[in-house]
Structure 1
Amino acid sequence: MKPSYVGKRDDTDLLRKKIIEMPYTEWKKMGFSKGTLHYMKQNAKADKPFTLNSHNKERLDKWEKLVANS
């Protein structure tokens, strides 16, 4: 039996690497709590699939663009 709904997964290797490398100080400057990044890092380090809230994904993408422009 196949599930009727399968959500889009966010757990690519590149995304996991970005989350693990994200410094807490940079995350805090963008207006998020240290706890949010902590749990994102725990999920990224685990071998299980995970998803991100849209606002967390947007901020992570914004941070990546800032780092690329530096």
Structure 2
Amino acid sequence: MDFVKPEYGIERIDSYDIRQNILSISCVDWKKLGFSKGTLHYMKQNAKSDKPFTLNSHVLDRVNKWEALVSSQK
């Protein structure tokens, strides 16, 4: 019996580092940079849970560049 091997793979973006970055973002700084408070709220809820989650590419880009964004605003 031959098993079918899928030709695609799913790249997980909810790593421990991403979760910690999301949890460390303050609402005040997030809002100062012009981002939605609601988006941050739901990202933090997802980061606290043990379930896998996804982020839109533009939001993931912001989270990945968070340290640089905050330091450039101060």
Shorter-chain TM-score category? 0.7 to 0.9
2:36 paired with 1:33: yes
Q: Is there any run of 5+ residues in structure 1 with no aligned partner, and where? A: none
CA distance in 2, matches of 1:3, 1:46: 28
Paired residues for 1:1-70 under 5 Å: 5-67=8-70
Summarize deviations over 1:15-51 as a string: whole Å, max 9, x none: 1001011001111122211110000000000000111
Identity %: 57
Structure 2 residue matching 1:38: 3-state secondary structure: helix
Structure 1 residue matching 2:50: 3-state secondary structure: coil
CA RMSD of aligned residues (A): 2.1
TM-fit CA distance, 1:57: 0.9
Based on CA coordinates, which of the two structures has the bigger radius of gyration?
Answer: 2
Change (3 A) 1:3 1:48: farther
Return the TM-score normalized by structure 2. Answer: 0.76
